[in-house]
Structure 1
Amino acid sequence: MLDKIGEYEFIAEPFHCDFSHQLMLGHLGNSMLNAADYHSNDRGYGMEYLNTVHRTWVLSRLTIEMDTLPKAYDKFKIATWVEGAMKYFTSRNFAVTSSEGQTLGYGRSIWAMIDTNTRQPVDILAVRDGLISEYIETEKPCPIKKSSRVKIEGESVLKRTIDTYYNDVDINGHINSVKYIEHTLDLFDLDFYKEYRLRRCDVAYVAESHQGDKLNFYVQQNADEYLVRITKHSKNSAEEVEVVRILLKFVKE
């Protein structure tokens, strides 16, 4: 067996960084998801194997909380491990450190497994006789709060409606999990980011959307927190369906 914790090195490529020379959160999120993919594939329950049996992982919740983001050209490491596994959901954590070992932040995520033909949830523990259970790590701390369901109550204001295209779609054929974050962060202009830094991002994925869907972004502000509700209008339906809820917590620079 491999170690329960996997650690992978990345680099903050300069054109993945913003005006402050810091890595954009979307690119950090993609690095986390890549680390999760490397970790699960190496241990035999990743997408390389799952696709041969018409299964795949889909993200249900994602939390990223950062004290500091890597800067352009910085090398950084992401450690990842499975904290728990049940029939329909598994929890996976992340720790982001500098190349010198300084803690930069953490992440939490919850995943489901679906049948790629029916798009319905399937039993995670039935895959390879519950192999994932042999890699559960409960001793390594992840000191940030658990992922939120992101409850949104009361009135929200429609801020933007966008179309979706080829570049929004991922390997699973639906809108990429991180694209929702990137489109949400685009709701705030450059001057806002000169004054505020995103400290924590909670994302709750509710339903899938696909290329050609229109995404509507509704925003509600509570002090330094912003609640964003994303809905879709599909090409073949006039019904408005909720797909994602996001909570953003900013701190003043």
Structure 2
Amino acid sequence: MYQYKTIVSNNDVDFRFELKVTAIFRLFQDAALLATQESGTDSISLSKRNIDWVITRMDVEILRLPKCNEEITIITYPGRDLLMVYPRHFIIKDSNDKIIIRSSSIWALMDATSRKVITDRNIIDKLPPESSPDELPLPQKIEMPIDKTFIEQRKIHYSDMDFNRHMNNVRYVELLIDVHDFEFYKKYRPSFISLNYIKEIKEKETVSIYSSGINPEFIGVTNDDIPSFIGKVTFVEQ
């Protein structure tokens, strides 16, 4: 298992001086990159071979949000490969070795030119699978309810893009979080987030954002009425 310690930066906290929910996903992205560099299967190395890592599903359980300047340990490891997808798990612990956040995710490899999933199992060296009794089960498919409320439209700009030339994974989470305002988050915080990434979104495209339900709440993002992303969020009182 790959792990390292870091300090929660003041740039990554909210008005409660707690780690922003969106910052969790950036930490996971960084951890996955660092963990795969030695094997040459990190996103930067693979991009030179015209290959992209794409995330398809992710679940995140938030037991507690660490405070500004708090030391945390981030742990990540690959699960057992499943056909054409690659599971990866994440765990965040506090200085007392107590789990405060855990996550499971499913990734695929995509040809950067054709934008098609790569089915060749030998395209990268296999990562030895690991497991932990503390890991979160793998994420499942989310169905967006038929009855939903339109929230808003957003045009995707250059700053939303990553080096894969599509909207960054974390930006989807920001769209989800921004469905509610400051007054809402004074009372509630997410305790469990499930994400399904369905279709990539590119620069200059306009997406529509929908909401359904209360707790859990479903958030859907569509492009030309075609689903691009579905999130499911359970909230707890602060």
TM-score bracket relative to the smaller structure? over 0.9
Shift of residue 124, structure 1, vs aligned partner? 5.5
1:136 corresponds, among 94, 114, 129, to 129
| Number of positions where the alignment pairs a residue of Structure 1 with one of Structure 2 | 238
RMSD (Å), alpha carbons: 1.5
**Which stretch shifts more, 140-149 or 205-214?**
140-149
TM-score scaled by length of structure 1 = 0.89
1:69-80 alignment, distance < 5 Å: 69-80=65-76
State the secondary structure of the residue aligned to 2:45.
helix
Counterpart of 1:64, as a letter, is V
TM-score scaled by length of structure 2 = 0.94
Match of 1:186 in 2: 178
Match of 1:169 in 2: 161
1:7-26 alignment, distance < 5 Å: 7-26=3-22
More helix by share: 1
2:89 corresponds, among 93, 116, 123, to 93
Shift of residue 141, structure 1, vs aligned partner? 2.3
> Is the counterpart of residue 231 in structure 1 residue 222 in structure 2?
yes
CA–CA distance in structure 1, aligned partners of residues 46 and 95 of structure 2: 32
**Which stretch shifts more, 116-125 or 55-64?**
116-125
Kept in 1: contact 2:156–2:205 (CA 8 A): yes
1:36 corresponds, among 32, 39, 43, to 32
State the secondary structure of the residue aligned to 2:172.
helix
Percent of aligned positions that are identical: 21
CA–CA distance in structure 2, aligned partners of residues 111 and 124 of structure 1: 14
Kept in 2: contact 1:114–1:122 (CA 8 A): yes
Match of 1:198 in 2: 190
Shift of residue 198, structure 1, vs aligned partner? 0.7
State the secondary structure of the residue aligned to 1:33.
helix
Gaps of 5+ in 1: 233-238
Gaps of 5+ in 2: none
> Is the counterpart of residue 251 in structure 1 residue 216 in structure 2?
no
State the secondary structure of the residue aligned to 1:31.
helix
Kept in 2: contact 1:216–1:230 (CA 8 A): yes
Match of 1:235 in 2: none
State the secondary structure of the residue aligned to 1:39.
helix
Counterpart of 1:188, as a letter, is H
